[in-house]
Structure 1
Amino acid sequence: MKNFKILSIILLHVYGLAYAQEKVKSNYDYVNPFIGTEKMGHTYPGATTPFGMVQLSPETNQVPMFKENGQYNAKTYEYCAGYQYGDSTIFGFSHTHMSGTGHSDLGDFLIMPTIGKLDLEPGTADKPHSGYHSRFKHSSEKAQPGYYKVHLEDYNIKAELSASDRVGYHKYTFPETDSAHIILDLISNIYNYDDKNVWTFVRVENDSTVTGYRQTQGWGKTRYVYFAMKFSKPFSSYGHKRYEDVSYNGFYRKFDQEHNFPEMAGKKIRAYFNFDTKKGEAIEIKFALSSVSTEGALLNLATEIPEWNFKQVRREAKAKWEKELNKINISTINEDQKEIFYTAFYHTMLSPVLYEDVDGKYRGLDQNIHTSEGFTNYTVFSLWDTYRALHPLFNLMHPQRNNDMVKSMLAHYEQSVHGMLPIWSHYANENWCMIGYHAVSVLADTYIKGNTDVELDQLIKASTSTSKVKYFDGLGEYMERGYVPEDKSGASVSKTLEYAYNDWCIAQLANAAGEKELEKEYLQRAKYYQNVFDKESNYMRPKLSSGEWRKEFDPLDTHGQGFIEGNAWNYGLYVPHNIPKMIEMMGGKDAFSDHLDKIFETPIEDKYIEKNEDITRDGIIGNYVHGNEPGHHIPYLYNWTNHPEKTQERVRMICETMYTTDRDGLCGNDDAGQMSAWYVFSSLGFYPVLPGSTDYALGSPLVKEAEITFENGKTLKIVAKKQSEKRVHVKKVTLNGIDIKGHSISHFDLINGGELIFEMK
């Protein structure tokens, strides 16, 4: 009996250990793709791989770009990623999405499984059964990196999604029926207006293989996406419906082209494929994309997912995410912080996205087909946002991938008739969105940190060429006068400040090359921010082409005051390349610290909110707007005053209030990962205030400990001694036992590994 009791105790202990081990969550398990899917985060919950070309995700509404009276429908803005958590209707699952952007596009090739009477109209969300859409409950949803699942209630169909880099994998489990349908909607799109499609084409190759393409206009002026689609079982019949005048049809109705005819073409097409299914039978679909051709899509499909094994594809997607997420291991004060951190880290790896076939072919900016040589081509460069922290994070965590992105930007430059690096580009299109030429910041930051093998003269040539395109956004006036005049080009102060910073980046490249005259030229241009500083008002201020200040000026107004998405209080502090000089101009360290306090402590008045549709209450602390990028460096500016402890206070406060585990846990658009990159950096205790230099500004780490594994094989352990919610101030910082003097730390010191210790107080 005694032995039996001992055995029982041992078994209970073993089972207890096993249970405890099962409950240990991995970094992968902490990722919550639903964070940011409600309100203005503009993220999507669907399946993708790190930087993958396919983003297979649900569309929860079909909001027209224009209202019936021809006015722009502001509600469309909510659906930049195609999904809003507040919805209860799914219209289908499409293959391309942008994460966290402030503009909409993509949403290519929507697939929707249905049963019963075939209905090719999507219907409207407010009217159940008005079309092929279905209701769903969030309790049936599951989202993990590389996997998404939901139950479509109206059809009793379980939908599961996964993906490889270039192929989306669908699995739909049906009830027993002789009327199962898979709808392929080539009209549906996220930038949702009637004339987006230029042309579509679908070709039925055999009873289980379909190919085709779509050419669209929209935010991307002309965009080609090809596909190859394979079913796991033959369809019994198929057909399509065209939604435009077909009187010019070349067959003159000699054939019934809408049923079992192998070629479908037109501006607006919805196709369907019919099946019989047994109870619990799954129909699987492999859907590959290409920017080049259907042949390229077929090659991508055959190469990446040759077999029918959904579980294996899901496992492989998970393994890719685990590899990336495990590069940083953290311990935190509470579990929520881990969920926020790893979700943010996940969001930083959703763009830019892979943009080439497995053989290296891709469509270039010139709309010709190119082959990448010595690099992997990427697209979706939201550079006004991402040069600030996302690309610097890549230089820390993904240097080789960022090198490929630099080469992708240079390929864009080579294919540009303007002789310009990308401004905001996606899918072989330049959108010219926002201001500055921030690709030069990415080039300089990557070179200065030793992460590119591109010849320096090539970087300089592309950067200087971009900086001298006179017809671009006030740049000619900037070069001639030393500032952008407000009466010649709007948002003139913002443009002047950002051009000056970009020019400083070019000067760093010139310095590295030993080109002293070129360096001198661009250092002079880098001082042009001084030309829009008004000593009398003590603000950056719009100046006219006459050289006079514009008389109507309100430094708190965010509309029509020379700034874009900001005002003179916050955007006027954008001189990252010479912060000491900016502080001197504004009255010295104490006066500048007082100004920073006013920014955080003075609420934006309602009249400014009501006046400007771009502003909401989301992400606002006083006049500091964390929900927008131009101010992301501001909390760290106290480091250059007599009150660096206020940087520590502000950074911790922002981390703890502007990011949560809720579906609206992002305080603004994630902006292609920039908002999340800010959190990752700040949680670790430092931030790149000046991309293009090797320094990071120190803050106050949120983690208790972190271990970072770099691509060079070295590891950095970060320890915050005596860390707690109340201990936000830093007494001392040491790296490998040596005290850090000042409030910055070198990139090269970090990637050499060792132990970085913050002593909290």
Structure 2
Amino acid sequence: MKKILFSVLCCSTLSAMAQAPSKEVLKYVKPLIGTARMGHTYPGATVPFGSVQLSPETDTIPYEMNGRYNGDVYKYCAGYQYEDQTIVGFSHTHFSGTGHSDLGDFLIMPTQGKLQLNPGTAANPETGYRSKFSHANEVSEAGYYKVKLDENDIIAELTATNRVGVHQYTFNNAGDAHIILDLMSGIYNYKEKNTWTFVRVENDTLITGFRQTNGWARTRTVYFAMVFSKPFKQYGHEKQDRQVYQGFWRKFDQSKNFPEMAGHNIRAYFDFDAKAGEKIKIKFAISPVSTEGAMKNLVAEAPGFDFDQIKEEARASWAKELHKIDVNMVSEDEKTNFYTAMYHSFINPTTYMDVDGQYRGLDMNIHTAKDFTNYTTFSLWDTYRAQHPFLNLVQPTRNADMVKSMLAHFDQSAQKMLPVWSHYANENWCMIGYHAVPVIADAIMKGNAPFNAEKALEACVTTARHRTYDGIGYYMDMGYVPEDKNGSSVSKTLEYAYDDWCIAQVAKKLGKNDIYEEFIKRSQNYKNVWDASIGFMRPRLSDGTFRQKFDPLKTDGQGFIEGNAWNYSLYVPHYPAEMIEMMGGKKQFAQHLDSLFTMHLPDEFFAETEDITRDGIIGNYVHGNEPSHHTVYLYNFTTEPWQAQSRVRMILKKMYRPTPDGLGGNDDCGQMSAWYIFSSLGFYPICPGSQEYQLGSPAVKDAKLKLENGKEFVVEAKNQSDANVYVQKVELNGKVLNRRYITHEEIVNGGKLVFYMSAKPNKRV
């Protein structure tokens, strides 16, 4: 009987091991990629789409600005720059790859010796609790971060669950130890009165509280529950808020061992006696709703203090997600690029609700997500292009929940608009367009719509008819946004026209012919900012004339945003053939693309740019800014598709490297990474809302996409090498594919796509 039982247990264990995805793939994830220069990624611990992003802060901005705005806030969007040599502490919330800053909530820092409650400076870290560190003593992996803090010889280790950040600090020296909880510290909260905090000491191991900020998000509240693995012997906080000590509260000495702390500038500390080699652990849960919600999250996700177990669970969650695509590449570096891109694309959007489904809505009321996971961090001007189409393909359930989150946002919006750039129950109104629309349309048109599609269409239409929003009234009346009435007018006209085409496609599919006719007409508005006399899109004024003072190479004040006329004149993804005809036909258009990639820009164009390749520019092609991401694939609509093939491979090499400065621009919540993944696989969605992916030149040797419907889609590149960048022919399921695109249906139905590669172009295709 015992032998039988032992045999059953062995079989069960082996079965479980066989089902668990191999963690071998994790060695190809390097979160330090993009942490230098403009990549704006962070190296700390998180899980896929997790609420917590527990990562080190190296910036000096909040402490050395003297209450004044400093442009370096942009540099520290993720709180960390690889070139820095000191760490201030470890915070629990971060953006990944953005061009704007916020978050950085609840900074924790371990110290020893004399208690210092100011952070010090990068030049003189010994004047505060800041510490020097070396990259030689730094480990950054999927779900895990480790670093040695040189000032006190403390080893800091971080891991996370979805809603809980887990710290482990090894004090190599015996003596007085302090854990500092800095609630002043934050990314972008550079004004003294922009933060209000509350801390409550429940007992000698449990702390609760909240942090309210007025930064990029106008009003943002995050609650927490913090548990120590060891009781502290005493605690206190810095006396910074005069008003806290006024009135009846003067009856207490609140600075030390007083269980409630409140104010704008709270830095609390908790003291311990540390033995040499002792580990003190912290579990820190966050909630958008309440301290009670944070406690529920803590109990549900991290009931124990086994740091290594939680770390392995985080690693297992990453292994599971990364194995949605198994790839073989030409080199180990390219494999690192690929899986790190997948890692970055699976960080955002982030979960925004407690384990019981409760979350704070845009109306600041508490809501419950009953049939979906509620998400936040919607950088939609960036992510509608490739990030959301990538999730729609390989993470369809999550992407559908993201659409449901957008529709909930619409319901809670006083303006009755879909999100533009939203996070933490706030709409930031950053960038242009109404690009929740193509995300919703892409889901509906590709059959991933487990939500009320008619209600979704209504939300899209209502948003697109919002006359008071960013020039839409002019756009509706005049067919374009006039530059003398509303800036960045050409970019807005072009992006609105594309969004309108997306609405028209959904309306047609749902049989709403009146809506279809309205928006298919609006989708033609790109023609109204085309100046045939100069061959570029050009800003028009409210009297109908084109603006006279105009330079197609410049961006500022020329009617564009994050691009110039050379880039934006190519932004008609919904009508590429018509755009090409308008620009003189296929031959002339191909020459225009050639010039874009090869032209030499004047020196003054790079006045603020140290290295044009690193900052995402090749010729006048700006890969670091999203409006250009579809451009190279437009060669497919000319007689020279081989040009797309060679240039895609060139961009992959120049803009992505397995180094801290290896991203040619902000990763923008996964958009840059999603471009890399699609292009490496050999196809790209130039027009989300369409079923088509344009074919390029794959960088993989082979790849297997494991789809949610249980089917597999295999990509194989025969004769693959760095030299063989041209495609001789393509076969789909054993038959020659005599077109330059593949459809979404063909991919999700499973099958095999084979590229035959060569060092010479096939100009007969």
Same structural fold, with TM-score higher than 0.5 when normalized by the shorter chain: yes
Please indicate the TM-score interval, normalised by the length of the shorter structure: over 0.9
Q: Pick from 641, 644, 661: which aligns with 1:644?
A: 641
Where does residue 413 of structure 1 map in the other structure? 410
Matched, 1:38 2:36: yes
Where does residue 520 of structure 1 map in the other structure? 517
Give the counterpart letter for 1:590 in structure 2.
Answer: K
Aligned positions of 1:117-196 closer than 5 A: 117-195=114-192
- Deviation string 1:475-507 (CA, Å, 9 cap, x unpaired) is 111011000000011100000000000000000
Cα offset, 1:615, TM superposition: 8.9
Give the counterpart letter for 2:454 in structure 1.
Answer: D
Q: Distance in 2 between matches of 1:414 and 1:50?
A: 27
Q: Distance in 1 between matches of 2:178 and 2:534?
A: 67
Q: Secondary structure at the match of 1:554?
A: coil
Q: Secondary structure at the match of 2:593?
A: helix
Where does residue 625 of structure 1 map in the other structure? 622
Change (3 A) 1:700 1:261: same
Where does residue 28 of structure 1 map in the other structure? 26
On the 8 A contact 2:728/2:755 being kept in 1, the answer is yes
Aligned positions of 1:486-525 closer than 5 A: 486-525=483-522
Give the counterpart letter for 1:41 in structure 2.
Answer: G
Structure 1: any 5+ residue segments left out of the alignment? Answer: 1-23
Question: Normalization by structure 2: what TM-score?
Answer: 0.95
Q: Tell me which moved more, 35-44 or 553-562.
A: 553-562
On the 8 A contact 1:187/1:197 being kept in 2, the answer is no
On the 8 A contact 2:613/2:664 being kept in 1, the answer is no
Change (3 A) 1:83 1:356: same
- Deviation string 1:381-400 (CA, Å, 9 cap, x unpaired) is 00000000000000111000
Same amino acid, percent of matched pairs:
61
Matched, 1:730 2:690: no
Cα offset, 1:247, TM superposition: 6.9
Matched, 1:47 2:55: no
Aligned positions of 1:685-700 closer than 5 A: 685-700=682-697
Q: Pick from 552, 576, 580: which aligns with 2:577?
A: 580
Q: Distance in 2 between matches of 1:100 and 1:196?
A: 27
Q: Distance in 2 between matches of 1:374 and 1:380?
A: 20
Cα offset, 1:519, TM superposition: 0.3
Where does residue 447 of structure 1 map in the other structure? 444
Change (3 A) 1:177 1:250: farther
Q: Distance in 2 between matches of 1:245 and 1:220?
A: 26
Q: Pick from 654, 659, 662: which aligns with 1:657?
A: 654
Aligned positions of 1:605-620 closer than 5 A: 605-610=602-607, 618-620=615-617
Aligned positions of 1:250-261 closer than 5 A: 250-261=247-258
Cα offset, 1:25, TM superposition: 8.2
Where does residue 742 of structure 2 map in the other structure? 745
Change (3 A) 1:242 1:291: farther
Give the counterpart letter for 2:187 in structure 1.
Answer: I
On the 8 A contact 1:65/1:76 being kept in 2, the answer is no
Q: Distance in 1 between matches of 2:82 and 2:610?
A: 23
Change (3 A) 1:227 1:440: same
Matched, 1:712 2:709: yes
On the 8 A contact 1:421/1:463 being kept in 2, the answer is yes
On the 8 A contact 1:60/1:84 being kept in 2, the answer is yes
Q: Tell me which moved more, 447-456 or 44-53.
A: 447-456
Give the counterpart letter for 1:54 in structure 2.
Answer: V
Q: Distance in 2 between matches of 1:748 and 1:200?
A: 51
Q: Pick from 365, 368, 371: which aligns with 2:362?
A: 365
On the 8 A contact 2:217/2:427 being kept in 1, the answer is yes
Cα offset, 1:612, TM superposition: 9.6
Q: Distance in 2 between matches of 1:284 and 1:381?
A: 33
- Deviation string 1:143-168 (CA, Å, 9 cap, x unpaired) is 11100000111011110000000000
Give the counterpart letter for 1:483 in structure 2.
Answer: Y
Cα offset, 1:178, TM superposition: 3.4
Cα offset, 1:626, TM superposition: 0.6
Cα offset, 1:251, TM superposition: 2.7
Q: Distance in 2 between matches of 1:452 and 1:167?
A: 31
Q: Distance in 2 between matches of 1:286 and 1:617?
A: 38
- Deviation string 1:335-377 (CA, Å, 9 cap, x unpaired) is 1100010001100011100000000000000011000011110
Q: Distance in 2 between matches of 1:113 and 1:553?
A: 56
Structure 2: any 5+ residue segments left out of the alignment? Answer: 1-21, 759-765
- Deviation string 1:625-646 (CA, Å, 9 cap, x unpaired) is 1111110000100000010000
Where does residue 11 of structure 2 map in the other structure? none
Cα offset, 1:28, TM superposition: 1.1
Cα offset, 1:248, TM superposition: 5.8
Q: Distance in 1 between matches of 2:443 and 2:63?
A: 39
Cα offset, 1:753, TM superposition: 1.1
Q: Distance in 2 between matches of 1:34 and 1:716?
A: 30
Matched, 1:438 2:435: yes
Where does residue 21 of structure 1 map in the other structure? none
Give the counterpart letter for 1:441 in structure 2.
Answer: P
Cα offset, 1:599, TM superposition: 0.4
Q: Pick from 535, 555, 577: which aligns with 1:538?
A: 535
On the 8 A contact 1:559/1:611 being kept in 2, the answer is no
Q: Secondary structure at the match of 2:540?
A: coil
Where does residue 4 of structure 1 map in the other structure? none
Aligned positions of 1:57-456 closer than 5 A: 57-64=55-62, 67=65, 70=68, 72-195=69-192, 197-246=194-243, 249-456=246-453
Give the counterpart letter for 1:62 in structure 2.
Answer: T
Q: Distance in 2 between matches of 1:558 and 1:125?
A: 35
Where does residue 56 of structure 1 map in the other structure? 54
On the 8 A contact 1:196/1:218 being kept in 2, the answer is no
Q: Distance in 2 between matches of 1:25 and 1:356?
A: 28
Q: Distance in 2 between matches of 1:712 and 1:475?
A: 40
- Deviation string 1:61-81 (CA, Å, 9 cap, x unpaired) is 2214995695x4222211100
Give the counterpart letter for 2:48 in structure 1.
Answer: P
Cα offset, 1:610, TM superposition: 3.0
Where does residue 559 of structure 2 map in the other structure? 562
- Deviation string 1:51-100 (CA, Å, 9 cap, x unpaired) is 00000000012214995695x42222111000011111010000000000
Q: Tell me which moved more, 733-742 or 611-620.
A: 611-620
Q: Tell me which moved more, 550-559 or 493-502.
A: 550-559
- Deviation string 1:666-708 (CA, Å, 9 cap, x unpaired) is 0100001000000000000000001001110000000111111
Q: Distance in 2 between matches of 1:143 and 1:132?
A: 23
Q: Secondary structure at the match of 2:84?
A: coil
- Deviation string 1:557-616 (CA, Å, 9 cap, x unpaired) is 122111101111111210000001100110000010000001001122222333899999
Q: Secondary structure at the match of 1:662?
A: coil
Give the counterpart letter for 1:535 in structure 2.
Answer: A
Cα offset, 1:278, TM superposition: 1.0
Cα offset, 1:179, TM superposition: 1.1
Q: Distance in 1 between matches of 2:250 and 2:608?
A: 56
Q: Distance in 1 between matches of 2:322 and 2:600?
A: 38
Where does residue 8 of structure 2 map in the other structure? none
On the 8 A contact 2:143/2:315 being kept in 1, the answer is yes
Give the counterpart letter for 1:212 in structure 2.
Answer: G
Cα offset, 1:457, TM superposition: 1.0
Cα offset, 1:755, TM superposition: 1.2
Q: Distance in 1 between matches of 2:483 and 2:466?
A: 19
Question: Normalization by structure 1: what TM-score?
Answer: 0.95
Q: Distance in 2 between matches of 1:379 and 1:735?
A: 38
Where does residue 754 of structure 1 map in the other structure? 751
